Structure 1
Amino acid sequence: MESTYEIIFDKLVYSCIFEMQRGTEEYYPDHFLGFQLAGETHAFYDKTTTVIKENTVVLVKKNQLIRTVKYPSKSGKYKFIAITLDSKTLQHYAFENKIEVKERYLGNQKLFFEPNEFLYSYFISLAPYINKTKKVTPRLAELKIREAIELLLDSNPDFKYILFDFAKPHFIDLEEFMNNNFMFNTTVESFAKLTGRSISAFKRDFFKVFNCPPQQWLKEKRLEEAYYLIKYKRKKPTDFYLDIGFENLSHFYSSFKQKFGETTTEVQNSTT
């Protein structure tokens, strides 16, 4: 059976698959609210793995790099609804409701939780739009997004420190961030945003820290990680090459041989 990935309206996306699927690595510039209708999502970010189980709500903070693996339930289906909470919508809501946030959220970073009765009913109420039994007008779409914001704040008032924090990303430690996120196959532009820098500032600071351009360092770092996994963890490249940032297996093999002067098999079989 074919997978389904539909944009129901511009801020609501519905996913349905019938076999395990490794999702793409994505940079999320906006917050999003998700609901796991069926199956599980395993989300990898910042060297941690979060398992989003069935009937669980997840609030993903903006400016995140995330890799996912999607697992259908025993019934054979995976279903997930994601609602984007973009800055423009949130700023408009904050202005209308006179909300001003001067502090940052200091709570648990793993923002997934059992929905209360109202949030659960909200996601169930989206079924007619997903099943195409009810047409979504722009006005109705706007109301559904505003309802999601209201229900989130009702479930946890401290979420306002997440939703209405419109400050630019912190100017964070570049070396620590890159060592924690080098395996994500994303753009230099995304890395720059995530570290609170312009592209030119990112490249300049990167060279100061690592003494080489970002793309060169990323390739070297990923190959070093691959060597470690093959030599000491006895893993096969086919099991991990995507997870350390390579898109093409043959390119990985040729790059590995070029750097280390040995094939992956020779490294794995060597005794030194």
Structure 2
Amino acid sequence: MKNTSEIIFDKLVYSCAFESYRGHEEFIPDHFLGFQISGETHAFHEQGKTVIKENTVVLVRKNQLIRTIKYPSAKEKYQFVSITLDDETLKQYAAENKIVAYADFPGDQRLFFEPDDFFKSYFASLIPYIDKTREVPSKLAALKVKEAIELLLLSNPAFKNLLFDFSEPHKIDLEEFMNRNFMFNVTVDAFARLTGRSLSGFKRDFNKIFQMTPKQWLKEKRLKEAYYLIKNRDKKPSDIYLDLGFENLSHFYSSFKKKFGMTTTEV
């Protein structure tokens, strides 16, 4: 059977897999609440690696880059369900309940945890919609999203400083950010947003720092990293090309030879 990712309603996504597979590189524009029904998700991000084990709830912050590998368990297929908590919904909820974020939310605080009885009951209530034993009326779908927000605030009141912070991302050090995140194969638009810039502002600042376009620099940076890994770490191209942001192996080989005037086996 095939791996699937299915939108049950506009903010509920169900992922299923029968064999290990690598997910797409993703720019996460909205917070989301997820539950690992079975199997494991290995998530790679700027801060390192997070392993989301079976029966774990995870609250994923918006505005970040993530790469995932999805593993079924020995007995069960991989299953993960997530609810998107977009800004429009959160702003409406904050207005209705007169909530204002009053402090910064700690950047290093754990956002994955064992579910309590409330979370277990909540995610169990979504199963009939995933199994298609019931249709989801739009009004009920909106209530399920609000219920997710309520449960998060009940589990940790400080989450309001994360969920209801609607400030625009601040301009951050572009050079430092790009050197930490060059391997993520996402759009230049996503890089611009993550560094707190408009697309035109990002390209202008980028050119001042690197004296080339973002696409040119990304290709150069990835190829130099590939050369280092092959020569000094004895890595195989087939093991690293995806992790460095190349979409296919043949493109990697041709780009490598054009850049260095030799094949990967001649390094």
* TM class by smaller structure: over 0.9
CA RMSD of aligned residues (A): 1.0
- CA drift of 1:108 comes to 2.6
- 1:150 is the counterpart of 2:156: no
CA contact (8 A) 1:185 1:246 kept: yes
Q: Tell me what 2:180 maps to.
A: 180
- Aligned partner of 2:8 in structure 1 is 8
C-alpha distance in 2 between matches for 1:44 and 1:2: 24
| C-alpha distance in 1 between matches for 2:20 and 2:244 | 20
Total equivalences in the alignment: 267
TM-score for both structures, normalised by structure 2: 0.98
Contact 2:169 2:194 (C-alpha < 8 Å) held by counterparts: yes
Structure 1 residues 196 and 174, CA gap change in structure 2 (3 angstroms): same
Match of 2:108 in 1: 108
CA distance in 1, matches of 2:109, 2:179: 19
Q: CA deviation at 1:125?
A: 1.1
Aligned positions of 1:117-128 closer than 5 A: 117-128=117-128
Identity of aligned residues (%): 69
Matching residue of 1:53: 53
Structure 2 unaligned spans of 5+: none
Distance in 2 between the 1:90 and 1:181 partners? 28
Name the structure 2 match of 1:84. Answer: 84
Moved over 6 A (4+): none
Q: Secondary structure at the match of 2:98?
A: coil
Q: Is the 8 A contact 1:241 1:249 kept in 2?
A: yes
- Aligned partners of 1:37 and 1:55 also within 8 Å: yes
Partner residue in 2 for 1:203? 203
* Contact 2:27/2:64 (8 A) holds in 1: yes
Alignment partners' CA distance in 2, 1:251 and 1:214:
18
User: CA separation in 1, counterparts of 2:107 and 2:177?
Assistant: 20
Q: Is the 8 A contact 2:38 2:76 kept in 1?
A: no
Give the deviation of 1:243 after TM superposition: 0.6
SS in 1 for 2:129: helix
**What is the Cα deviation at residue 3 of structure 1?**
2.0
What are the within-5 Å matches in structure 2 for residues 154-233 of structure 1? 154-233=154-233
TM-score w.r.t. length of structure 1: 0.96
Contact 2:44–2:68 under 8 Å retained in 1: yes
Name the counterpart of 1:270. Answer: none
Which ranges of structure 1 fall in alignment gaps of 5 or more residues? 268-272
